[in-house]
Amino acid sequence: MLDNYNFTAAERFLRYVQIDTQSDPLATTFPSTDKQKDLGNILAEELLQIGLQDAHMDEWGYVYATIPSNTDKKVPVICFCAHMDTAPDCSGTNVKPIVHKNYSGADIILPDDKSQVLRLSEYPYLQSQIGNDIITASGLTLLGADDKAGVAEIMDLANFLMTHKDVKHGEIKILFTPDEEVGNGTGKLDLQKLGADYGYTLDGGDAGSLEDETFSADGVRLTIHGVIAHPGYAKNKMINAMKLAGLILDALPKDRLSPESTEGKRGFIHPVRVEGIAEKCTIDFIIRDFETPGLKKKEDFLRTLVEETLRAYPKASFEFAVSEQYRNMKDVLVLHPQVTDHAKTAITKAGLDVKMESIRGGTDGSRLSFMGLPCPNLFAGEQAIHSKLEFVSVQDMNKAVETLVYLVGEWENAS
Ligand SMILES: [Zn+2]
């Protein structure tokens, strides 16, 4: 269907990555950095040029736009979403993108820091990219394919649909968000105003990959109360809460249930912070499991471990407070199987193998799903994200656009 189409994703991408949009986890403003709006303004302007008449950026830096329906059928409203910010882990200032045409499989040495070398042996995905055009940064910064690849692909989808009216589709909403990388991409989002029934984030890696599953996540704050006494006269009286905390940490399993001992579908209990004095000590844990009821099991396990550890110290006491963080998007997506099914069909029609993946973390999509917008994550082509070796191929970006074109067609067909 797109054989004669002049894709614009790569051209757009090369411009967008040169705009610094790094977010800041320590900021108290929204968006966390004002410079993210520099890109938001450009995207809103370009969407207007493409012909999306309601395109605009709001006061919080969100870009909203609508591609009007061109079918008589009643089709659910689909939203495509990508984030504009780049990760705080690595500089995003003065990004100099480089296109390496017709990749041969040889090492790619980044010119501004020759110690930065992209090697096939370290990034096996490159095997699938031989003959493709690979875009990298120059060695001093990240590239920003996470998630400007997704942004550029959605922009190109808009361009394609507005210039190919023969492709029938329902109403489509475009959403570009700030502050995803600092965990707050949905912070000021107006879902009512967006008015979509289902969504897809474009923020995944390998061509053909589709992520419909994330961790479910809780936090536990354990507060341990010891018994305080003057240290000169503390014999048989003092119980040091910090030492109890040490016993508890030491009692955690060493070969399982931890991030450093698990992968795949296994969850964990992970202490992330200890703070205290002899009298009182708190340990913050994060609890992760793909099965939401599995969180409760892990929390019970942890509580029992604490009780058993403290049994020898009857004068010490503890509080155990559980707080919900986020939930596996699959809990929502199983209720709307067509969202994932249409994506699988579209990926296949684009000539790719579907790779179902689970995210050992959370995404804006998990939050959106529980806010009422079921929202799996589609591939955008981004690789080696949050690093100076980040890359994406022109061909993977174009495949993502093609997938989106088939995807809007699937929703129209099925209606
Ligand atoms: Zn991302």
Q: How far is the CA of 64 from the centre of ligand 1 (A)?
A: 18
Active-site annotation holder among 85, 153, 218, 289: 85
Q: Report how far residue 343's alpha carbon sits from residue 313's, in angstroms, rounded to the nearest whole number.
A: 56
C-alpha of residue 188 to centroid of ligand 1, in Å? 18
Cα(187)–Cα(179) distance, rounded to whole angstroms?
9
Q: In what order do the strands lie in the sheet with 268-276?
A: 268-276, 280-289, 216-225, 317-326
Residue 326 pairs in a beta bridge with: 217
Catalytic residue among 46, 180, 218, 382: 180
Concerning whether 107 is annotated as a catalytic residue, the answer is no
Q: Does residue 146 carry a catalytic annotation?
A: no
The dihedrals phi and psi of 157, each to the nearest 5 degrees, come to -60, -45
Helix/strand/coil percentages in the chain, nearest 5: 30, 25, 45
**CA–centroid distance, residue 380 to ligand 1 (Å):** 9
What distance in Å separates the CA atoms of residue 195 and residue 192, rounded to the nearest whole number?
Answer: 5
Query: Per residue of the chain (415 residues), what is the pLDDT tens digit?
Result: 788 899 999 999 999 999 999 999 989 999 999 999 999 999 999 999 999 999 999 999 999 999 999 999 999 999 999 999 999 989 999 999 999 999 999 999 999 999 999 999 999 999 999 999 999 999 999 999 999 999 999 999 999 999 999 999 999 999 999 999 998 899 999 999 999 999 999 999 999 999 999 999 999 999 999 999 999 999 999 999 999 999 999 999 999 999 999 999 999 999 999 999 999 999 999 999 999 999 999 999 999 999 999 999 999 999 999 999 889 999 999 999 999 999 999 999 999 999 999 988 888 888 899 999 999 999 999 999 999 999 999 999 999 999 999 999 999 999 9
